Amino acid sequence: MAELSTLARPYAKAAFEYADGANGLAEWSTQLATAAAVAQADTIKKVLTSPSLTTEQQAQTFIDVCGDALSGKAQNFIRVLAENKRLSLLAEISTLYEAFKANREKCVDVDIATAFELDADVQDQLAKALTGKLEREVKVQAHVDKSLIGGVIIRAADIVIDASIRGRLAKLGEAMKA
C-alpha cells in the first residue's frame, strides 16, 4: 500500500496546491471523490486496462462517464493521469488530497468505537478534550463495537488510544508471557 501512496502523492499534492490557490478546496474534493468512485467501477477498470485504447481514449471515456461532475481543470488533471497511466490511483489520490485538505483546515476526523452507545454530552466532552490535545477541529464519528466488552478505542489520523477492556486484557496477557 505504501507504493500506491508514494505514486499518488505528487498528483494529490499538485491537485491540492492548485485547488488551494484557486480557493476551490471543497470543489476539488467533490470532483476527486467522484472520479475515485468512477475509477472503482468494474467497467471502468476494464477500460483503464484495455490495451486496445490509447491513453487519450481512456481519458475521454473516463471524462464522459463523469459528465458534468468535472470542471475543465479537473478534466485536464484526468488527462495527465491517463498520459502517465495513473488513473487507477484516483482513490489513493483522493484520500491523500483529503488529508492535505484536513491538515490545511486544521481539522481531523476522529473515530470512536465503544462497547455501548455514547450520549451526545459525552461525545461533546470527548471532542473538546481531543480538540485541545490535537490542536485541531475534531469531527467525531462514534459507533458501537460489541467486541470491546467495555471502554473505548479512539482513532485520530495516526494516533490510536486503546482504553478498552479487550486492549487491557491483551496487554496483561503479553506481560504475563514475558
Here the CATH number for the domain that contains residue 42 is 1.10.520.20
Q: What is the pLDDT of residue 134?
A: 79
Residues 66 and 154 in one domain: no
Residues 97 and 114 in one domain: no
Residues 8 and 91 in one domain: yes
Contact criterion met (CB below 8 Å) for 142 and 114:
yes
Residues 23 and 90 in one domain: yes
Residues 35 and 75 in one domain: yes
Residues 123 and 86 in one domain: no
Residues 27 and 98 in one domain: yes
Tally of structural domains, the chain: 2
Question: Which pLDDT tens digit goes with each residue over 119-128?
Answer: 889 888 888 8
Query: What is the C-alpha separation between 52 and 64, in angstroms, rounded?
Result: 18
Q: What is the pLDDT of residue 2?
A: 58
Instruction: Indicate the residue among 50, 75, 102 that finishes a domain.
Output: 102
Phi, psi of 39, rounded to the nearest 5 degrees: -65, -25
The whole domain housing 148 covers 107-177
Residues 7 and 85 in one domain: yes
Q: What is the pLDDT of residue 73?
A: 94
Residues 15 and 85 in one domain: yes
Residues 12 and 83 in one domain: yes
| Angle value at C-alpha 111, between 126 and 163, nearest 5 degrees | 65
Residues 98 and 137 in one domain: no
- Could you give the count of Cα atoms lying within 13 Å of 135 in the half-sphere of its Cβ? 2
β-sheet with 151-156: strand ranges across: 137-144, 107-114, 151-156, 159-164
Q: What is the pLDDT of residue 159?
A: 82
Question: What are the residue ranges in the chain where pLDDT is below 50?
Answer: none
Domain of 168: which CATH number?
Answer: 3.40.30
Residues 17 and 91 in one domain: yes
